[in-house]
Amino acid sequence: MKRLVGFLWMTGFWVTGLVATPAAAEDAIAQFYKGRQITVVVGSSPGGGYDIYARLMARYLGKYIPGNPTMVVTNMPGAGSNAMVAHLYNVAPKDGTFIGAPQNNAIMDALFDASLGNARRLRHDASKLVQIGSATTDHYVCIARADAPIKSFKEALTKEWLIGASQPGTSTRDYPAMLNNTTGAKIKQVSGYPGTREITLAIEKNEVYGLCGFSWSSLNAQKPDWVKSGFIRVIVQEHDKGNPEINKMGVPLAVDFATSPENRRIMELIYSSETFGRPYFVAPDVPAERVAALRKAFMEAMKNSELLAEAQKIGLAIDPIAGEDLQNLAARIFATPTEFVEKTKNALVYRAP
């Protein structure tokens, strides 16, 4: 009888220990983050879509992280967000106190870099980044001033059209370059703008006639009156399925203008990065329990009623994607055969019409 009681007591103690483990882990996380600061580093210039999303997210994320750390947002634009990614990968502490907010095309840039093997130019391995989550799936579009020489994307196949663009490795530079190569469009770029905020200003000043690789959510957040007023037209969707709201406007899909089945597959691979939308990551080697806490906190923050109300007020779409799902998508993208990666990379080279 004494042996049975002893066994039951030990069993009960062991079970209690199991139940207490998550709480103990949360206490350890709270002890780490209490009084600390988490820095969200945006890989693009202030005032753009990525910056707006990151600052909204940061205002609420700390409430759901054990220990309630202070949240700070800073910007480190350059090289299509790769300057920021390299900083978090190589320099910043890998303890869960730095979160990266890159442009979503950085995943494709890393895929192309990986195909170079030992000749890599990037100072980081994006396949090892740990995804925390994304605020939404993105949908990119091409927009044109109402007085542009083209009124539809079909006309852009035969008439030259001048647009603003950023640097190689960004959607505003690479997506229109791909359209020239895969659809035969005659898009001419004025490149070198720091970000979409500067390009939209150039459109207002009539320096350029439009912009491609522009997020629909960013357009609504930065220039909510442009479509309603008729100042610009949305001429094509740079997405393989399209956005329900834009579909109702009768805006065609760029993939339907592909000049060959292979070119369509190239476009679909590039557009798959849009699922990353507004992504957030931490560097490799961040302790697994802190990664789990950040992922959980992110999804909870995205459900916050105040965040959702604020997002609606400024025209931001919120449709969160879990970090685990982004991690699986990244793995599939990095598994693309090298031969096809090279063809896709070539399609992104800008060739002026």
Name residues whose C-beta falls within 8 Å of residue 277's C-beta, 6 or more positions apart in sequence. 104, 134, 135, 136, 137, 138, 319, 321
Cross-strand pairs, 334: none
pLDDT at 288: 97
The dihedral over CA atoms of 184, 150, 188, 270, expressed in degrees to the nearest 10, equals -50
What value does the mean pLDDT of the chain take? 91
**Average pLDDT estimate for 225-245:** 94
CB 173 within 8 A of CB 191: yes
The three-state DSSP-derived secondary structure of 25-40 is: HHHHHHHHHCCCEEEE
Cα–Cα–Cα angle for 89, 93, 98, nearest 5°? 80
Give the DSSP per-residue string, 202-213.
HHHTTSSSEEEE
Is 90 exceeded by the pLDDT of residue 261? yes
pLDDT at 117: 65
Residue in 150, 136, 152, 145 with CA at minimum distance from that of residue 249: 152
pLDDT at 114: 80
Which one has a higher pLDDT value, 189 or 167?
189
Residue in 168, 142, 170 with CA at minimum distance from that of residue 156: 142
Residue in 316, 346, 245 with CA at minimum distance from that of residue 51: 316
CATH domain 29-137+275-346 topology: D-Maltodextrin-Binding Protein; domain 2 (3.40.190)
pLDDT at 3: 47
Integer Cα distance of 172 and 273 in angstroms? 14
Query: pLDDT grade, residue 5 (50/70/90)?
Result: very low
Residue showing tokens 């890159």: 102
Q: 225 — alpha (psi -120 to 50), left (phi > 0) or beta? A: alpha
% of residues, the chain, pLDDT over 70: 93
Residue showing tokens 């130019």: 121
**Average pLDDT estimate for 228-254:** 95
Which one has a higher pLDDT value, 169 or 31?
31
Which one has a higher pLDDT value, 106 or 257?
257
29-137+275-346 and 140-273 share one CATH topology?
Answer: yes
Cross-strand pairs, 164: 190, 211
% of residues, the chain, pLDDT over 90: 76
Which of 48-52, 177-181, 209-213, 254-258 has the weakest average pLDDT? Answer: 48-52
Tokens describing residue 81: 């967000």
Q: What is the pLDDT of residues 311-322, one digit of tens each?
A: 999 888 999 999
**Average pLDDT estimate for 298-303:** 98
Is 50 exceeded by the pLDDT of residue 194? yes
Residue in 256, 302, 296 with CA at minimum distance from that of residue 277: 302
For the chain, the domains span 29-137+275-346, 140-273
Name residues whose C-beta falls within 8 Å of residue 117's C-beta, 6 or more positions apart in sequence. none
Is 90 exceeded by the pLDDT of residue 28? yes
Which of 8-12, 34-38, 114-118, 151-155 has the weakest average pLDDT? Answer: 8-12
Q: Which CATH class is domain 140-273?
A: alpha beta
Is 80 exceeded by the pLDDT of residue 14? no
pLDDT at 86: 96
Q: What is the pLDDT of residues 59-94, one digit of tens each?
A: 999 999 999 999 999 999 998 899 999 999 999 999
Kind plus residue range of the DSSP H or E element containing 343 = helix 338-347
Kind plus residue range of the DSSP H or E element containing 329 = helix 323-334
